[in-house]
Each structure stands twice: as C-alpha cells, then as structure tokens.
C-alpha cells in the first residue's frame, strides 16, 4: 500500500451567475500567467536576469494596486496566485528537459483555475468556491474515498464549453495481489497492440471515424463571418467533435491499460519516440490518432500505484526482425511484410506476435538483471546485449 495523490474528475453545471464568476476568474488567471511569462522572458533576454516566483508575487501585488488593473481584485486571489506557481513549475519542467518552453495561454483554448483549501469549502458532498454564494452542481459519477478531504480543486472549461471539477486527494492505494504473469506488448497501427500470448487488440481509429464530419464542420466554420454569433456556434460544433474523439480515445486507453495492469505482474513495451515518428508525412495522422504516448503514460502511473513492473526496452532493439526461436536477425524488414520465415531455423513468424515475444523476453532479462524492485518506466535495454545465442546451422 502506498500513499498517492489522486485526482477525481467530475462534470459540473454552474449557474449563469457562477459562469460569470468563473469567466472573470479564468480571464484573470490567463492574464497573470501571460503577464508573468512576458516579464520572465524579457528579463532573461534583454536584461540577462532571472525572475523567480517570489519576485513575480511581489510585482503582482504592486500591479493590483494600480487603477488600470484593479479588476484583478474582483476575483479570488488564490487562483491568480496559483498561476504564478504553475508558470514556475512549467519552467522547471522545461529546464529538466521534460517539456517545451512555456507558451502564452489563449482565450479559446482550455481554461482552468486552481483553488487551494483556503479558497473553497467542502462539506457533505457540497463544494462552494470563493466568491460564490451557492455550491456547484456536480454530477458525482463515482464515490470519493470515505473521509476524503481535497487539498486543491481545479475548475476547467474545455473548448466545447463543458465544465469540469477535479479534486486532488491523498489516499492509500492498495497494491494488487502479486502474480507470475508477464506480457510483452508490441504497439502498432494495423492493430493497436499485439500481446506475446497471441491476443490482438484492434486499432479503433477514432479520428478516422469522425474525420469527414470534422472536415465538414471546419469548412462551415471557415466560411462564417469573423466575430459573428454563427461563427461562434460553428466553432463550438468543431470543438464538440474534437471532444468526442478525445473522450472515446481516452476511455479506450484507460480500460485497456487497467486490464493489462490487473492481469499481469510485468508488462514489457518498447520506448517509442512518438515526436520523431510523427514527422513521417505518410503516417503522421495515423500515429497521432492511435495514442501510443498516452497509453504508455497510463501504464507507468498505474504500475506505480498497484505495485506492478513496467519495463521499457530500447527503441533500437530489432524486435520485429529477430527470430524468437533461434535469435537470427534479418538485415531489413519493410512495413508491408506482415509474415516472414526465418532463413536459419525455418520457423514461420507473424511479424507482430514475434515482436511481442521478443519484447517480453528482453524485458524479463533486464528485469532479472536489475532486480525485481524496478521503478516503473525506468528500465531500458541496450540493443545487442540481450539476444539469445544462435543455434548451430544444421
């Protein structure tokens, strides 16, 4: 059992008055984030100095005292202050090489505001935010842990004008019962994933299913007059189609990753560089639609929660070209070849099943070499060092 911070996300339906309060809050948060980002960028490139959170917090206090920016005092100060913390975290992520340089927030994109415990009250399932007289109407789609007290609350609105509430809670997550099952997973486009036991999970292609509908909605949106109400209606229709695609993909990945975590003690996958793979002009749309990166991220945190092992082998390991039976490696294997026969031992292979078996074999080798207590997502193999010795020619 381990104590983890877990977010519970629910759909909420604020009243018209609450929507106005949230709209002002979103605007102040967005302005503060963009204002601080501009200050930090200009200070570094023009004055060769660095501004930190305490510097920006002091400057924000002085900014609120000016008459031109007095409207910042109309909303709760907590979400505005949290915007500076989020910017500071974004820069830490950038300097650690885990993200890109922070960009300015836009009005038409997703809006969010974070409230800490001093800016909301949560009693008997009723959540009331600062500056609001009535609690939010929340659809509790699943129960919270007994006695759970949120440490922070994030209210968000997506591009389709849907409101969500996310409660961050610390809870003790019990590890699943250990088992001896280990699986290798080969991610692909024709089939989303092929497992080493022969199971094949098809690629749903959610974007492809709604691509024509989305293109039609985008054409109608482009023809509307800018600034008109009809253009805003067309924009929301495009956003709803995008939201439908994203929700279906997320639901599929969540259910599949949860099933694999529950049924297997060790899961071995390839560490794919998706940001490099999408540069292929012929496959970029299909790769973006399949969601490999999101799927592996889900496996990582769920393996950490439930005491499972996730092993990521090296991306250059020739899992498809290597014969699982004898270890012979082909010089080349094009994507159109889905089955091949080993020229050394004569075994006929399905390309994806053979790759999944090799991924499992290499992952278990690395896991045994590094010990059973391997941190999820922290293992990579070195190509060429874990191959089996070839069988002698007959």
| Catalytic annotation, residues | 186, 270, 352
Distance CA(148)–CA(261), nearest Å, equals 25
Query: Beta-strand (E) ranges in the chain?
Result: 2-12, 111-116, 120-123, 126-129, 138-139, 152-157, 163-173, 182-187, 191-195, 200-202, 266-270, 309-313, 339-341, 348-350
Assigned token pair, 27: 């605007």
What are residue 26's phi and psi, to 5 degrees?
-60, -40
Task: Please tell me the distance from the alpha carbon of residue 133 to that of residue 118, in angstroms, as a whole number.
Answer: 16
Positions of E strands within 78-234 = 111-116, 120-123, 126-129, 138-139, 152-157, 163-173, 182-187, 191-195, 200-202
Backbone angles phi, psi at 209, to 5 degrees: -65, -35
Dihedral of the alpha carbons of 126, 132, 137, 139, in degrees to the nearest 10:
-70
b vs e for 41-62, b when ≥16 Cβ sit within 10 Å of the residue's Cβ? eeeeeeeeeebeeebbeeebee
User: How many Å apart are CA 80 and CA 119, to the nearest integer?
Assistant: 11
Q: How big is the chain, counted in residues?
A: 394
CA angle 353, 359, 364 (to 5 degrees): 130
Torsion of CA 312, 315, 319, 320, to 10 degrees: 130
Distance from C-alpha of 332 to C-alpha of 340, rounded to nearest angstrom: 12
How far, in whole angstroms, is CA 161 from its chain's centroid?
A: 21
Q: What is the DSSP letter of 376?
A: T
Q: Which has the closest alpha carbon to 79: 113, 103, 122?
A: 113
């Amino acid at each position: 059992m381990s104590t983890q911070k877990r977010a519970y996300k629910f759909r909420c339906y604020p009243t018209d008055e609450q929507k106005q309060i949230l709209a002002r809050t979103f605007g102040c948060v967005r302005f503060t984030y963009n204002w601080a980002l501009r200050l930090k960028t200009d200070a570094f490139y023009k004055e060769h100095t660095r501004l930190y959170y305490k510097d920006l917090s002091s400057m924000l206090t002085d900014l609120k005292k000016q008459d031109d920016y007095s409207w910042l005092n109309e909303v709760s100060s907590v979400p505005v202050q949290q915007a500076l913390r989020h910017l500071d975290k974004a820069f830490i992520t950038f300097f650690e090489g885990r993200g890109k340089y922070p960009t300015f927030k836009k009005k038409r994109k997703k809006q969010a505001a974070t409230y800490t415990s001093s800016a909301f009250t949560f009693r008997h399932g009723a959540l009331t935010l600062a500056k609001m007289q009535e609690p939010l109407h929340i659809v509790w789609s699943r129960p919270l842990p007994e006695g759970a007290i949120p440490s922070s609350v994030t209210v968000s609105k997506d591009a389709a004008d849907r409101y969500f509430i996310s409660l961050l809670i610390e809870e003790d997550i019990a590890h699943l019962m250990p088992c001896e099952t280990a699986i290798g997973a080969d991610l692909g486009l024709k089939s989303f994933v092929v497992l080493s036991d022969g199971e094949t999970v098809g690629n749903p292609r959610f974007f492809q299913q709604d691509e024509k509908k989305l293109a039609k909605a985008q054409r109608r949106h482009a023809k509307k007059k800018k600034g008109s109400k009809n253009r805003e209606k067309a924009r929301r229709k495009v956003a709803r189609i995008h939201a439908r695609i994203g929700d279906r993909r997320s639901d599929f990945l969540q259910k599949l990753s949860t099933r694999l975590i529950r049924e297997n003690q060790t899961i071995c996958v390839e560490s794919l560089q998706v940001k490099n793979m999408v540069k292929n002009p012929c496959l970029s749309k299909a790769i973006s639609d399949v969601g490999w990166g999101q799927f592996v991220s889900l496996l990582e945190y769920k393996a950490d929660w439930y005491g499972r092992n996730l092993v990521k082998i090296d991306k250059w390991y020739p899992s498809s070209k290597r014969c699982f039976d004898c270890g012979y490696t082909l010089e080349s294997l094009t994507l159109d070849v889905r089955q091949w026969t080993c020229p050394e031992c004569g075994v006929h292979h399905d390309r994806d099943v053979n790759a999944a078996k090799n991924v499992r074999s290499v992952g278990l080798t690395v896991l045994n070499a590094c010990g059973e207590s391997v941190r999820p997502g922290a293992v990579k193999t070195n190509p060429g060092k874990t191959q089996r010795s070839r069988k002698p020619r007959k």
